[in-house]
Amino acid sequence: MCPSIVADHHNRGFIIPIGGAERREKKPVILQRFVDLSGGPDSHIVIVPTASRADETGPNYIKVFENLGVENVEYLPITSREDCQNQAYAESLDRATGIFLTGGNQLRLSTILGGTVIAQSIRKRNAEGVPVAGTSAGASIMSEHMIASGEGNKTPKSDGVNLAPGLGLTNAAIIDQHFTQRNRLGRLFSATSYNPFLLGIGIDEDTAAFIGPDDMFEVVGSGSITIVDASNLTYSSMWQAGKGEALSLLGLKVDLLAKGCRYNISTRQAFAP
Amino acid sequence: MCPSIVADHHNRGFIIPIGGAERREKKPVILQRFVDLSGGPDSHIVIVPTASRADETGPNYIKVFENLGVENVEYLPITSREDCQNQAYAESLDRATGIFLTGGNQLRLSTILGGTVIAQSIRKRNAEGVPVAGTSAGASIMSEHMIASGEGNKTPKSDGVNLAPGLGLTNAAIIDQHFTQRNRLGRLFSATSYNPFLLGIGIDEDTAAFIGPDDMFEVVGSGSITIVDASNLTYSSMWQAGKGEALSLLGLKVDLLAKGCRYNISTRQAFAP
């Protein structure tokens, strides 16, 4: 799905994919910056813990945000498509000044939220200027084309990754998370080579891309973000490689961005701190 | 150490780094091709199992090469620097038409062989045209600058890899092995960014680079070889990054080469099959 249309008098809100395992207690720089963008202590944060099967995920994040001084923080206990019809949840999102998607399983998230008023509301609120942050599965689902699954530690293969439609907050990139920690470069290479118009963004744990309305992002956190730009590929064996066969991809451009680096998704240019 | 001088009337022998875990029984394409280059059934293969602490490593590879039809195959049971003085071993290398370095620990290999007549002999024989293959640790030691150690699964860091002097059969590249399987891209990024004149060659398991005397190599085996070319870096934080801090490296070129692809180490050009 393409991003919602941004009205003339609005800027789209920040999109903040986080690579999972972000710091939640001592010096939680990523979550603090998300709170600052959402309005600081006066913000109204709404947590969507649907990716997670654990009942405590929502309440735990309430404590995290309360510790950051946020007074208005709530979570939506959505665990089924039926729950998405609850009018009160849509009203909560209408009041939100920041929306947070927890980790878990991105297919659980997309199969429960996809096509419901909750998904529409998250997209609409972001187009109206509300920042949306998501960690781990919550980061993956942000893009139009979502990495649904695919083994780590594997040589890139034609069948090394499975895509599914995501929430579509951005359509210029495909996002992966726990990136270095779970050795997911192979599946990101496979994903970007399916159609090199997609920029690959691989985000380490405790690391985030703060993507502004101008499609420029800054890296925040302790790890790095790996950018895979396949747009200048001189050769790809993708379309003709047999099942399970190792891929050849010649001419990939890779940037490795640690905190303070910036990147323009539209022009595919990286900037040093 | 720089490669030995190749005399006017000779071509240097092939250098064949293998990423470890190469097939040894059914369809051992890498080892078969090494045997073919060494003279086929008439070849005289000398195995140096010194990287391994296991007594059976030498005898096991004798069986592997015998199964490939090689009649003259022996191993040098070198486990100490003293063993390297054994004149019979140097004479075996003088008769060798192919030399094979097993896996194990590359620092064990370099600390035992380094500076001895055995190391000199391997270098000299390669300069005289004898192919030298090495798997895993035996692949790492081939380059002048050798990756001695460094954790996998890590974001590239200034202190993410430790180098040591290797055998110096080639000085244009730095070689890593078990590459995708052990998630070693981070340490290869670190190693190549120390001094971007070095080309990074990361070799998957059951995969080999057959590097000819013209510095062109072909990929053989079931995995892929990842080439890291840092020569056009536009920014590197390497020299100023704090200990343990994630690196920023902008403008890396990466090629992913599966079987049949070729690469010219001198000109840094990749060629599709």
CATH of the domain at A136: 3.40.50.880
Q: Is residue B5 part of a domain?
A: no
A72 within domain boundaries = yes
B256: pLDDT strictly greater than 90: yes
Interval B134-161 mean pLDDT: 91
A188-197 burial, b for 16+ CB within 10 Å, e for fewer?
bbbbbbbebe
Take residue B220 and report the two structure tokens written for it: 């053989």
Average pLDDT of every residue of chain A: 95
Mean pLDDT value across residues B75-96: 97
Name the residue of chain B whose CA is nearest to A153's CA.
B181
CA distance A141 to chain B (A): 23
Do B256 and A247 count as a contact with CB atoms less than 8 A apart? yes
Residue in B223, B234, B272 nearest the CB of A235:
B272
Selecting from B153, B254, B257 the residue whose C-beta is nearest the C-beta of A248 gives B257
Residue A1 lies in a domain: no
pLDDT class for A120, splitting at 50, 70, 90? very high
Number of domains in chain B: 1
A251 has a pLDDT exceeding 70:
yes
Cα separation, B240 vs B219, whole angstroms: 36
Closest to A185 (Cβ–Cβ): which among B185, B204, B273? B185
pLDDT tier, A1 (very low <50, low <70, confident <90, very high otherwise):
low
ipTM here: 0.86
Which three-class secondary structure state does DSSP give residue A241?
Answer: coil
Is the pLDDT reported for residue B14 higher than 90? yes
Kindly tell me if the per-residue pLDDT of A2 is higher than 80. Answer: no
Query: A189–B256: do the CB atoms touch at under 8 Å?
Result: yes
Residue A267 near chain B (CB below 8 Å):
no
Domain assignment of residue B113, yes or no: yes
Q: In this complex, do B250 and A234 lie within 8 Å of one another by their Cβ atoms?
A: no
Q: The domain containing residue A221 runs over which residues?
A: 15-271
Query: Tell me, what amino acid is at B85?
Result: Q
State how far residue A246 is from chain B, nearest Cα, in angstroms. Answer: 5
Q: Are A151 and A159 in contact (CB under 8 A)?
A: no
Interface residue A85 vs chain B (CB under 8 A): no
For B175-205, write each residue's pLDDT tens digit.
999 999 999 999 999 999 889 999 999 999 9
CB contact under 8 A, A180 and B181: no
Tell me, yes or no, whether A6 lies in a domain. no
> Which runs of consecutive H residues, i.e. helices, occur in A10-116?
29-38, 57-67, 87-95, 106-113
H/E element, A74:
strand A72-75
**Binning pLDDT at 50, 70 and 90, where does residue B1 land?**
low
Phi, psi of B255 (to 5 degrees): -120, 140
**Three-state secondary structure of B116-176:** CHHHHHHHHHHHCCCCEEEECHHHHCCECEEEEECCCCCCCECCCCEEEECCCCECCEEEE
- Among B22, B144, B205, B218, the active-site one is B205
Q: Is residue A255 part of a domain?
A: yes
